[in-house]
Chain A
Amino acid sequence: MKKVVFFVLLAVLALALMPVTAQDQPFAGQKVVVVTQEGSAIGGPAEKYGAEWAALTGAEVEVQRFAFGDLFPKIITALQTGTGEFDVMIYASDWMGDIAGGGYVLPIPDSVKEAVEWDDILPLYRERIANWGGVTYAVPFDGDSHMMYYRKDLVNPESAYAADFQAQYGYPLDEPQTWSQYADIAEFFQGKEVDTAGVVAPIYGVAEALRKNAQSFWFLMSRAGGYAKVPGDPYFFFDENMTPLVNTPGWVQGLQDWIDIYGCCAAPDMINFDVVNVRAVFPAGQTVFGLDWGDVGPITVDPNSSVVQGLAGFGTLPGAERYWDRASGAWVDAEGGVNKAPFIAFGGWVISVAADSDVADAAFDYVTYLSNKELAGVLATTGGTGVNPLRQSQFDSLDLWTGAGFDEASAQDYLDAVLSTINDPNNIVDLRIPGAFEYFSALDQGIAKAITGELDAQAALDEVAAAWDAITERLGRENQLKLYKESLGIQ
């Protein structure tokens, strides 16, 4: 009898506990497959915090990581062939045209928006980057824009090199405001023996991602911005008829500048640099300048990766003294002496849930966990995560940054540079139409030819323009134009 009572009590206890367990681990037995890029940037947090989420919810998370160059083909092939391989995709917002535009992802439910404190995300990302055709298809995971890094211990009016520089170039040595000043400073320092954290060694001018099949096209866009973006005119890549603007004189000047600086003042092997190299070389004190997304900032304060702690200055991208006005067909002197057109390159990583996911609820819960406000703050201030600031709260709290190793002045400098880029009325939002990857690849090809002298800058970009035209024609000019205008916010 005692045994019977014991087993009955045990059964009652088990039954009583079952709902608790089910509530605690709501996705037990479900498997969420995530796809993103390899390496510590983006892929690292997806895996690390995915494991945390899995432990909490009882679900299983499998993060499949691919090299950046292979990521788009992997995702789009899986979606198009309907293999249902991936439930969650963490991808470049530039690909929204193909991914959201193709109807392959689910709209973000209001409950997810509420859980991730949607209104804290800067309007640029939550209203433009995350949307396609007026519908929100993604949660912004990373706020991306290009910026300039420089050695502020060397490049400042009080620097030991200031007098020599002034004598040689006729203006004070300070954070460059134009690409020509940037080139002058790079040339001035190229090969000079300078002191970096007690070690005297030659320094090079610039570290920029010039490698083929990597990110070079984004950096040309950054370099061309000041010369080719007309204030008040939203068109930068194409005009109102979808005619490419990539071979207009502004773009050509941007490319010519790059060819020149590569010839005079580049770090060794820069032709094979992608951003990973830039993120190693600049913090290692090997160059005066580095161009990158916001990632270098937190790396410079990491004692394990940087010898330039407290020596790095942060600035918006330089601009140009004059810009090419496509309407008048002439160069125009910039108002105030500089036309700055910072570039919201790439637009950041976004997270979407596949429309054919069998575990959409679990997938959205994973997305919520990965995009929550607290975690976003941790990731943005940690070097190597690939996550840059994208929430208002991250700009309001200096403590967040000083706690991560920045001194107060550096933190303010860094946040100012990021925020100035995002808020600049003349900034450029990346190309976000179907086929973006192919347009970029054609530009990549043109840059590669021009840098190695196979073609001059004009001829290379003429070839790119022809390729862009052919792509547009093939994908349907009318539809491409409609989507391009939509991406610019033009109805």
Chain B
Amino acid sequence: MASLSDIKPLPPASETGQESREDSIFKRVFLSPAVAVLLVFSIFPLLWSLGVSVTTCQRSASAAGAEAPAPTVGSVMCLGNPADFSLRNYERLPTDSRLLTAIRNTLFYVIVGVTVQYCIGLLLAMLLQQEFVGRRFFRLVFLLPMMLTPVAAGYVGRMMFDSGISPLAQFQRTIGTFLSNLTGLEVKISVPFITDPGVAPFTMVLIDSWQWIPFMTLLLLAGLQAIPDEVYEAARVDGANARQLFMRITFPILLPISLTAILIRSLEMFKLVDIINVVTGGGPGTSTESLVMYVYDTALSFGNYGYAAAMGFVLLVMVIIFATVFLAISRRLTRQQLGVG
């Protein structure tokens, strides 16, 4: 009787020399919609925005009813306005302090946010992997925040962290009163979650994490469930303790899925905007403004499309560098764990 391992995939048609001209045409026909979608919705916008980024394209400041001037030699029409080719947008980038602050804030969200989400997500996944009463209920409840839109999550966060009327503020006051009664000294506890520039970025991370830890938990829980019990049993027979079980079995086996989850969340964190917009509007000061917020304002509010496109490419470069470095480290880590190379 043949086993599953005996089943071999069919060799590609081209190797067998069976691919006819007709097959080849069909292949192209069936692939063409996907290619067209890719070209229209990904490649074209990318190239178009690259083009816009090297022009002075902006909303015009015309007088009432004035006809837009015709493009001159060496200029182009951009959204109905004449624009010249220019590198001024790229020249402005390194001197724009608002941009540099937005980049700093964005990197903070990516690094701190994803770290927090991964660590807590892993802990929760391990917890939910255990057998206990109400496990299915808690699995469901922990996933609920992920179902919200980011704007709704933002409003929940804003209500939770308000320093006057939120339950958290009330809790702090209660603790303060309790300590005052206990010590006889006046104790006031008030954490300025969204009013202090030093604390507000952490609050943004906290709110985003509240929403997205379930995503990490979900992926990691799936990974945990895929680890056969026999592996743990064998290790226990060999005398492994809980720490060794985690470090030698759980973590290495979860590594590929962990890296995937971290990469997905990191890419999303680069685009964080909704929650910040709702909770602080980018303040206090400039402490929470993200790069995408600045790009959005520059393009749609200020009408400076050229500069917004240039900033978009800065974001793209940041993401590419991050993803490349991350994947390189991931490969190395995975190889080390597998003892390869």
Of B80, B163, B301, the residue contacting A72 (CB under 8 A) is B301
**A480 contacts partner chain B, Cβ-Cβ < 8 Å:** yes
Of A73, A445, A474, the residue contacting B300 (CB under 8 A) is A73
User: Chain B nearest CB: distance from A11 CB in Å?
Assistant: 50
Q: Cα distance A73–B298 when bound, in Å?
A: 10
- Interchain CB contact under 8 A, B286 and A211: no
**A103 contacts partner chain B, Cβ-Cβ < 8 Å:** yes
- Interchain CB contact under 8 A, B283 and A448: yes
- Interchain CB contact under 8 A, A69 and B281: yes
Interface of chain A residues 19 through 74 with chain B (CB within 8 A): 69, 72-73
**B141 contacts partner chain A, Cβ-Cβ < 8 Å:** no
* CB 8 Å contact bits of A464-484 with B (1 = contact, 0 = none): 000000010011100110110
- Interchain CB contact under 8 A, B283 and A103: no
- Interchain CB contact under 8 A, A271 and B284: yes
Q: Which residues of B contact A245 (CB under 8 A)?
A: none
Of A82, A441, A454, the residue contacting B302 (CB under 8 A) is A441
Of B286, B296, B297, the residue contacting A448 (CB under 8 A) is B286
**B330 contacts partner chain A, Cβ-Cβ < 8 Å:** no
Of A101, A135, A211, A463, the residue contacting B283 (CB under 8 A) is A211
Q: Which residues of B contact A324 (CB under 8 A)?
A: none
- Interchain CB contact under 8 A, A454 and B281: no
Q: Cα distance A102–B58 when bound, in Å?
A: 13
Interface of chain B residues 144 through 196 with chain A (CB within 8 A): 158, 162-164, 194-195
For A, the interface residue count at a CB cutoff of 8 angstroms equals 49
- Interchain CB contact under 8 A, A271 and B61: no
Q: Given contacts A101-B64, A212-B284, A479-B63, is CB(A474)–CB(B304) below 8 Å?
A: yes
Q: Cα distance A448–B286 when bound, in Å?
A: 7
Of B66, B281, B300, the residue contacting A211 (CB under 8 A) is B281
Of A454, A474, A475, A479, the residue contacting B197 (CB under 8 A) is A454
* CB 8 Å contact bits of A263-284 with B (1 = contact, 0 = none): 0000111011000000000000
Q: Cα distance A479–B57 when bound, in Å?
A: 17
- Interchain CB contact under 8 A, A269 and B59: no
Q: Which residues of B contact A475 (CB under 8 A)?
A: 58, 61
**B256 contacts partner chain A, Cβ-Cβ < 8 Å:** no
**B134 contacts partner chain A, Cβ-Cβ < 8 Å:** no
User: Chain B nearest CB: distance from A286 CB in Å?
Assistant: 9
Q: Which residues of B contact A451 (CB under 8 A)?
A: 284-285
Q: Cα distance A212–B279 when bound, in Å?
A: 10
* CB 8 Å contact bits of A69-83 with B (1 = contact, 0 = none): 100110011001110
* CB 8 Å contact bits of B56-89 with A (1 = contact, 0 = none): 1011111111100000000000011000000000
Of B56, B62, B282, the residue contacting A102 (CB under 8 A) is B62
**B223 contacts partner chain A, Cβ-Cβ < 8 Å:** no
Interface of chain A residues 124 through 146 with chain B (CB within 8 A): 132-133, 135, 137
**A405 contacts partner chain B, Cβ-Cβ < 8 Å:** no
Q: Which residue of B lies closest to A96 (CB)?
A: B64
User: Chain A nearest CB: distance from B149 CB in Å?
Assistant: 14
Q: Cα distance A475–B162 when bound, in Å?
A: 40
Q: Which residues of B contact A453 (CB under 8 A)?
A: 285
Q: Which residues of A contact B49 (CB under 8 A)?
A: none
- Interchain CB contact under 8 A, B285 and A449: yes
**A214 contacts partner chain B, Cβ-Cβ < 8 Å:** yes
Q: Which residues of A contact B58 (CB under 8 A)?
A: 474-475
Q: Which residues of B contact A103 (CB under 8 A)?
A: 62, 64-66
**B303 contacts partner chain A, Cβ-Cβ < 8 Å:** yes
User: Chain A nearest CB: distance from B54 CB in Å?
Assistant: 16
Q: Which residues of A contact B277 (CB under 8 A)?
A: 69, 213
Q: Which residues of B contact A441 (CB under 8 A)?
A: 297, 301-302
**B248 contacts partner chain A, Cβ-Cβ < 8 Å:** no
Q: Cα distance A452–B200 when bound, in Å?
A: 12
Which B residues lie at the A interface, using CB under 8 A? Answer: 56, 58-66, 79-80, 97-98, 158, 162-164, 194-195, 197, 277, 280-287, 296-297, 300-304
23 pairs of residues in contact across A and B, judged by CB atoms under 8 Å = A80-B79, A80-B303, A82-B80, A97-B61, A133-B64, A212-B282, A214-B281, A268-B163, A269-B194, A271-B195, A272-B158, A272-B280, A272-B284, A434-B59, A449-B285, A449-B286, A452-B197, A452-B283, A452-B287, A474-B304, A476-B61, A480-B61, A482-B63
Which A residues lie at the B interface, using CB under 8 A? Answer: 69, 72-73, 76-77, 80-82, 97-98, 100-103, 132-133, 135, 137, 211-214, 267-269, 271-272, 433-435, 437-438, 441, 445, 448-449, 451-454, 463, 471, 474-476, 479-480, 482-483
Q: Which 6 A-B pairs have the closest CB atoms?
A: A212-B283, A213-B281, A133-B64, A452-B285, A73-B300, A434-B61
